[in-house]
Structure 1
């Protein structure tokens, strides 16, 4: 899609997030929404609008590349799987950015859409956007924590995979046990690769 359409889709998502605020359950789960990737670089052609949505879940319940059952209805309500978006869930009390989500910018919170962000995107004033980049020591700590969390999740899915009750509970909204297994494998290997490539002297700043 073209850049202008990508910004329009981002605005539509912000409005959809805002429309959920009146519902107590949704308000308790969805906390913030961030954008990163090609949209923040002003790319003329954008394959997908990359977003990270912060949920009111602790890190141990939301390891990297996981899609919790408690958020399946939320993805459906926000039409995240209808095309044009690539999205990741992020837990509270952890930095939004990581080895994949580089320099994210918040575009929605419970205060509503950030109009200054949308104005800057419309005018392509990317230098004024407040990017979230944790200190280098926090990045290292988070990478180690993500590695432990994704491995624990992979083991849990592996142990429960053929359990009938687990398989029954992990079906719905077009998702199947196989999706959960693949995501557990992919999440762990993704963080493992990032850990092996990490340079301890490098500060992870947006390019």
Structure 2
């Protein structure tokens, strides 16, 4: 997709974040961050990488998982119909990690759309509005903290899958949750090793 189209999709998502009613979902998205290639110089892109920060506790949003209701939220904002790779985060932990490198805050529930950052992204000068990179020690600590949360999430997802394995109803939501949690855990483990 063209750079201008990617910026358009990002702007549209930021606007949708601000328009959704507060009581419509089980959680609220409180921040929208962009990272990856859209923070580079203008060029054609395959995907727009964003981090969606929720008001949920950190234990409810382990790395690479989706909170309950995320699919509904994604459909309501057209996130699922546009070329986004969205990673869900908790407000109770830093948004950045080994994959979400030096993200830029596009929208927050407190302040709305950050026009300065949006203009910098559009102009290809986002480097000027990005936070500094963490030190190697800070990054290691961040990944260790995420791994701890991820292991708890993996145990919980495994138990939920086991409890429903032979019960009535669809197993797919539980197997998908287990798969996402496992993927996140293994990703973090690989980074530390």
TM-score over 0.5 (shorter chain): yes
- Structure 1 distance, partners of 2:167, 2:66, is 15
8 A Cα contact 2:2 2:45, kept in partner? yes
Deviations 1:101-152 (A, max 9, x none): 0110000012211111121122222332133644544322221111122122
Q: 1:156 & 1:166 partners in 2: Cα distance?
A: 17
TM-score (norm 2): 0.87
Superposition pairs of residues 126-145 of structure 1, within 5 angstroms: 126-131=126-131, 133-134=133-134, 136-145=136-145
The secondary structure found in structure 2 opposite 1:180 is helix
Contact 1:97 1:132 in 2 (8 A): no
Which whole-Å deviations, capped at 9, do the CAs of 1:20-75 have from their partners, x for residues lacking one? 2x534569621111000010012512111000011111211111011111433222
Is the deviation greater in 100-109 or in 57-66?
Answer: 57-66
| Distance change >3 Å, CA 7–CA 122, structure 1 → 2 | same
Please name the residue that 1:160 is paired with. Answer: 160
Q: Unmatched 5+ residue regions in structure 2? A: none
1:77 aligns to what?
Answer: 76
Q: 1:83 to 1:190 in 2, by over 3 A?
A: same
Q: Secondary structure at the match of 1:188?
A: helix
Q: Deviations over 1:141-190 (max 9, x none)?
A: 2211111221222222222213239977987xxx6222112101101110
Give, in whole Å, the separation in 2 of the partners of 1:34 and 1:133. Answer: 15
Structure 1: runs of 5+ lacking an equivalent? 197-207
1:122, 1:116 → 2: CA distance?
Answer: 10
- Number of residue pairs matched? 192
